[in-house]
Amino acid sequence: MEKRVVITGLGAVTPVGNNVSAMWESIVNGKSGIDYVTKVDKEQFTAKVAAEVKDFDPAAYMEKKEARKMDPFTQYAVAAAKMAVQDANLEITDENASRIGVWIGSGIGGMKTWEEQHSKFLEKGAKRVSPFFVPMMIPDMAAGQVSIQLGAKGINSCTVTACSSGANSIGDAFKAIQRGDADAMITGGTEAPISNMAFAGFTSAKALSTTEDPKKASRPFDKERNGFVMGEGSGILILESLESAKERGADIYAEIVGYGATGDAYHITAPAENGEGAARAMQEAISDANLHSNDIDYVNAHGTSTDLNDKFETQAIKDVFGEKASSLAISSTKSMTGHLLGAAGAIEAIISIKAIIDGIVPPTINYEYPDPECDLDYVPNEARNQEVNAVVSNSLGFGGHNVALVFKKYEA
């Protein structure tokens, strides 16, 4: 019999707050974390804005000597993981370490490290490249370092599926516990992509918003949207078998009950026509949860503020929910956080769980000009008090990756 899996801990480093409570307060109040980009020279790019992590001190979570051996994407993950483990009151000991795993995704990995070391190679030669270059850069090192820092010796993995990486990792960790391969998993996503090469690549692809006003740049489902805003940070959840959580007397936030993952087999960057793959992922996740589409109260949409994503995700929601789609609460919190790429699904999973706990649906800010092709209820501009029993959270990535997670209110 499949094990029930619950969420017992949460941790976050984000553009709208460096812990879960600060992040959630910003989200509920419609506060944007987007501003003019400072980590690259904005005068070189048509895009001028980003959602940067602010006032983050890695020394608060790790030794300075250790932090110097980590790219920022790993530092964010270690910090968020330590917050989540503390929040869960999860003690990792010699007795349980082999049953506690880590599964943390990243879409890109150590871009800052790659750029710095490549410049050193060109300027000073091969011998000056750091011996830590490879272990600092590779996307799995967030999971590796979290395991080392916390002593978790169970399954240790990293899913790299572009902007679906965090959501895939949570889904994969959920299944590992469900089938009995682990008692608890430290899981989520992390990303620190705000670098010259990433900015250059995404601007060349005309993917980033060129809106001059930072606070208006990310506007999912709005007719004036013109691209996403790059963000950074990490979201980490502690997933645990219900038996383990009960045995420890842990506080339970919610239950994860469904996971759907599909491929578009269509295009390297564009979503499949009418969101066909996204619709199948949602249907799979709802079915996996043994729920019906009518049981879902809220959809935390991928909602990137790009033309094709928002239009086709809207169509996918209509296809899955039918008549209910018009009355279903849907929002894109990327309007405030920007798009955290491989960390987006993890941050949005935490937001979905907080919506269940507090009975608040977060808003889609900057929704000013309705688009006839995006004509659903996107909870415009202000949060809404509403009972939330079950949530679908969507993540879609370059390469045609589609992921949906279903969270529901915990019932003993």
Number of neighbours of residue 4 by Cβ within 10 angstroms: 16
**Active-site entry in 158, 267, 292, 339:** 339
**Active-site entry in 163, 267, 292, 374:** 163
Question: Which three-class secondary structure state does DSSP give residue 58?
Answer: helix
CA neighbor of 300 nearest in space, from 255, 251, 336: 336
**Active-site entry in 158, 302, 374, 401:** 302
Pairing between β-strand 156-157 and β-strand 100-105 as defined by DSSP bridges: parallel
List, in sequence order, every beta strand (DSSP E) within 116-232.
156-157, 184-191
Q: Which helix (H) or strand (E) holds 258?
A: strand 254-263
The two three-digit tokens of residue 6, written as one number: 């619950």
**Active-site annotation holds for 267:** no
Rounded CA separation 269/290 (Å): 32
Pairing between β-strand 35-36 and β-strand 49-50 as defined by DSSP bridges: antiparallel
CA 34 to chain centre: 16
6 with 248: CB under 8 angstroms? no
- Nearest 5°: phi and psi at 328? -85, 135
Question: Which three-class secondary structure state does DSSP give residue 364?
Answer: strand
Longest dimension (CA), the chain: 64
Distances 179 to 238, 258, 262, 369 between C-alpha atoms, Å: 17, 14, 20, 47
Beta bridge partners of 188: 104, 236
Q: Which residues are catalytic?
A: 163, 302, 339
